[in-house]
Structure 1
Amino acid sequence: MGCALSGPGVTPEPTFDVEKRGSFVEGGLDLSKETECGENPEWLSLLESQKALIRESWKILHKDIARVGVIVFIRLFETHPECKDVFFLFRDIDDLQQLKMSKELQAHGLRVMSFIEKSVARLDQEDKLEQLAFELGRNHFRYKAPPKYYEYVGAQFIQAVQPILKEHWTPEVEKAWQSLFEYLAATMRRGFSTEEKTAGTGKSLSSRKACAESTPNKN
């Protein structure tokens, strides 16, 4: 997501009772199996009532999706200006008013909102939701967008949508969105780590091959 999903005062990832984990995911995931990067998968800790709150609030936000995307990133750059370094298209624009009019920023904001929309649509399909966030994390390694930025967008999204949702925003709605973004950020970090390890292995193999080819054959 570019400078994608933590925020000021990053909320620590929730810890779950192992005996209760099965209740968090319909269909369940086998805790004995490891992911491809050698870590247990994250768990989407959302009750059905929380999923309903997210869906209902998203219906309202979707009506103004382009503006929400711009607001999120303007807030992000105000609170974490170092994030702009990830975006070569507009990292040299210091005037936030000018940045609001940037076509590139608007387009990126829409891409992030599209990711959120796809995530909301997959709340009952955790395997597909996990794949979506995991692949985005892998892509962010290629974009050179460090994992420390991922939760920032989630925090700024929550701050940005409160005045839009008005009376529809409640502590329960906030908790539901926080849980979703914590899950997405953790899964993206896992995807980033996997791609980082893959790239490191590839470089190591290439180096060894180059070294072998450059070594004179003594026979």
Structure 2
Amino acid sequence: MGCALSGSGVVQDPTASEEKRCSLAEDGPDSGEEGQRQGDGKAPEALLLSEAQKALVQLSWEILHKDIARVGVIVFIRLFETHPECKDAFFLFRDIDDLQQLKMSRELQAHGLRVMSFIEKSVARLEQEEKLEQLAFELGRSHFRYKAPPKYYEYVGTQFIQAVQPILKEEWTPEVEKAWETLFRYLVATMRRGFYKEEKASGVNLSLSLRRAGADKTPNKI
């Protein structure tokens, strides 16, 4: 997530890039069960973006903003290709197996735009960390009500980063990727806190019930 963005023409090693993308999902606090359950008890995550990284995110977003509807659809199509279980959180199109048909879904397009709107608001609040934290925290709380578990949040960030690389082309550099990774790590951690805060307040262990529901499913037979 030469270059007006970084001033660097460094060509990225595809292998290293893949390793970094994997680490975005695997190295987060959601990697272990205890990390999930402690999400509410941890101190708020710090936004570890330097001023230079904030500028990289803002400049790259100016380019991406011109095509956010398409980016939103690409992100979710990629998400369902790589993690089909995520479709269970979307009752409007969970039963659509044809990805080409899904691309034309107005519901998917609308949801993609909502997610892009959240990213846009996050970018606009990079200099207002309190407001950014509140935005992500409240979104995490609402995702408890949507029954969308925290492990899915990381997947969206990973797919966003992969989807925007071909759009930004030479403007995408290792520095830009690192900045977006850092932002998404913060957003995911803050949303996770909001999810578990709402779960605790409700007295319902939704995380456990969702895992049990997934374990009870039998694979579709052809």
Normalised to the residue count of structure 1, the TM-score between the two structures is: 0.77
The unaligned stretches of length 5 or more in structure 2 are: 1-20, 30-39, 205-222
Alignment of 1:149-160 (within 5 A): 149-160=152-163
Alignment of 1:172-211 (within 5 A): 172-200=175-203
Q: Shift of residue 87 of structure 1?
A: 0.3
Instruction: Report whether the alignment pairs 1:79 with 2:94.
Output: no
In structure 2, give the amino acid aligned to 1:180.
Answer: L
Q: Shift of residue 39 of structure 1?
A: 2.5
Instruction: Report whether the alignment pairs 1:113 with 2:116.
Output: yes
Q: Shift of residue 13 of structure 1?
A: 3.9
How many positions carry a matched residue from both structures?
173
Aligned-partner Cα distance in 2 for 1:65–1:38: 35
CA offsets 1:173-197 (integer angstroms, 9 cap, x no match): 0000000000000000000010000
Aligned-partner Cα distance in 2 for 1:8–1:135: 27
Q: Secondary structure at the match of 2:203?
A: helix
Q: Shift of residue 11 of structure 1?
A: 4.4
2:37 aligned partner: none
Alignment equivalent of 1:132, drawn from 124, 127, 135: 135
1:12 aligned partner: 27
Normalised to the residue count of structure 2, the TM-score between the two structures is: 0.76
Aligned-partner Cα distance in 2 for 1:53–1:188: 23
Q: Is the CA contact 1:70–1:105 (under 8 Å) kept in the aligned structure 2?
A: yes
2:73 aligned partner: 70
Q: Shift of residue 8 of structure 1?
A: 4.7
Q: 1:83 to 1:8 in 2, by over 3 A?
A: farther
Q: Is the CA contact 1:133–1:188 (under 8 Å) kept in the aligned structure 2?
A: yes
In structure 1, give the amino acid aligned to 2:27.
Answer: P
In structure 2, give the amino acid aligned to 1:83.
Answer: C
CA offsets 1:122-141 (integer angstroms, 9 cap, x no match): 00000000000000000000
How much is the aligned-residue C-alpha RMSD, in angstroms? 1.4
Identity of aligned residues (%): 80
Moved over 3 A (4+): none
Q: Secondary structure at the match of 1:112?
A: helix
1:4 aligned partner: none
Aligned-partner Cα distance in 1 for 2:41–2:176: 33
CA offsets 1:119-167 (integer angstroms, 9 cap, x no match): 0000000000000000000000000000111100000000000000000
Q: Is the CA contact 1:8–1:152 (under 8 Å) kept in the aligned structure 2?
A: no
Q: Is the CA contact 1:90–1:105 (under 8 Å) kept in the aligned structure 2?
A: yes
1:104 aligned partner: 107
